[in-house]
Amino acid sequence: MRNGAYTLASIAALAGLVLLMVGHSDGVETALGTVLLVVAPLLMGIGKVIDVLGYVRDGAADPDE
């Protein structure tokens, strides 16, 4: 099962890096870039939790015989 959290995390990290590169030291771009770089690992963690829950659900659906 593949979810979109990893894709969103990649986009957030890439956008954060771009904003940090083009932003000034006191601009909004720098703050937004930093927030996006902090949010990217959180999105990856959410994606991992969704994957684990999917594996648990699939395993629970197959009873041992």
pTM of this structure: 0.74
Task: Please report the pLDDT score of residue 18 as a whole number.
Answer: 94
Which segments of the chain have a pLDDT < 70?
A: 1-2, 58, 60-65
CA atoms within 13 A on the CB side of 5: 15
Picking from 55, 35, 42, the residue whose alpha carbon sits closest to that of residue 5 is 42
| Other CB atoms within 10 A of residue 32 CB | 15
Cα distance between residue 22 and residue 28, in whole Å: 11
Cα distance between residue 59 and residue 34, in whole Å: 39
Domain positions in the chain: 5-60
